[in-house]
Amino acid sequence: MITPIISCIGILSALLAASAHPQPHRIQAASRVKKISSAKTPAKKPVAVVAKGKLPAPANNNHPENTPTAATSSVVVDAHPALWMIHKNNTTIYLFGTIHMLDPRYSWFNHHVREAFEQSSELVIETKAPPADQVQAIVSELATDKSGLPLEKRLPPALNRRVQAELTRFHMPKNSMDHFSPWFVAVTLTLLHYQKSGIKTMAGVEPVLISQAQSEAKNIGELEDFKQQLSFLSNLSSADQISFLQSSLEEDEQSSFIIRLLIKAWASGDEDRLANMVNQTLGQIPHLQTILVENRNRRWADWIENRLKTPGTVFMAVGAGHLGGNYSLRKILAERQIYAVRIAN
């Protein structure tokens, strides 16, 4: 379940980006990447130490387990993700579905996507990562367990044994997750699985768009703030958080396979297929789909409806999982006689 949440809905993209402390000038637009180096550096055994209220350090990507093979890292794949346009009077909003964790081989920031971006004076994304000190403060508030009990006392014995096995697998101390809530444990372990398979947080779409917007001095707006996004998961009941963790651990062994299916659907512009995969997995916790998809899409439709009253051109980038399915942003807009037209790619 957690794979589509991270990959296509973007609740945690800002959190993951902030944990890596990216520098905008180090991020290259995918269209400019000609070849991904497969050179390996001497490996060091990664040890992630997590202090109370602190983000876990990303795993060492040079460790043998975390380094993609040359066969999968040297070929650039030309992607054609879906792009939509909403136009009314003197206002144009380009609606672009993103994927937040991406295989760095994919080249997508070109052709119609690049042209629409260049025509826009403003970039709007789901959320922006605040400065690192603010991230740590928000994580301390929302991801830290308040009971004072160690993780093993808060989980069913079988689930705790599975968590401990995963921590050992990634060379993390046994007590490194003791201060955190189950939802955050699930996210951390899944991220480590992504790193192992070569899926990169900073190869996602948003870092490229943000970097390019900064270089062109475009305004960058957000639909939700960072704390609001994390609260969608932190406000889950204890039982739902445990179910979330259990589901993610059951999925983790196949997470790289699942995300590559999602990436393939995204890269071919098949947003309905991608959304079906997302919605099917979200259904494992009954009200999670309402919280993460339907309610947010309705608020974003309100934003679009209001923004159409102001002349200008906007490039709006949200998780691709929001643009297909029964509760899609496009369907909600159509109910209001606001129609998104697909731009041929």
Boundaries of every domain in the chain: 2-20+52-61+81-342
Which among 8-12, 13-17, 112-116, 318-322 has the top mean pLDDT?
A: 112-116
Phi, psi dihedrals of residue 139, rounded to the nearest 5°: -65, -40
**Closest to 152 measured CA to CA, from 139, 165, 136, 170:** 165
- Residue percentage of the chain with pLDDT more than 90: 46
Which among 182-191, 198-207, 212-221 has the top mean pLDDT?
A: 212-221
Radius of gyration in angstroms for the set of CA atoms belonging to the chain, rounded to a whole number: 20
Distance between CA 332 and CA 338 in Å, rounded?
9
Kindly report the pTM of this predicted structure: 0.81
Contact 263, 294 (CB under 8 A): no
With residue 95 as reference, give the H or E element that holds it: strand 91-98
Query: Where does the pLDDT of residue 45 fall: very low under 50, low under 70, confident under 90, or very high at 90 and above?
Result: very low
CB-based contacts of 236: which residues, under 8 Å, 6+ apart? 183, 244, 285, 288
With residue 19 as reference, give the H or E element that holds it: helix 13-19
232-270, pLDDT tens digit by residue? 889 999 998 998 898 888 876 677 788 888 889 999 999
CB-based contacts of 95: which residues, under 8 Å, 6+ apart? 83, 84, 85, 86, 316, 318, 323, 329, 330, 340
Contact 61, 67 (CB under 8 A): yes
Directed axis angle between helix 226-234 and helix 132-142, to 10°?
20
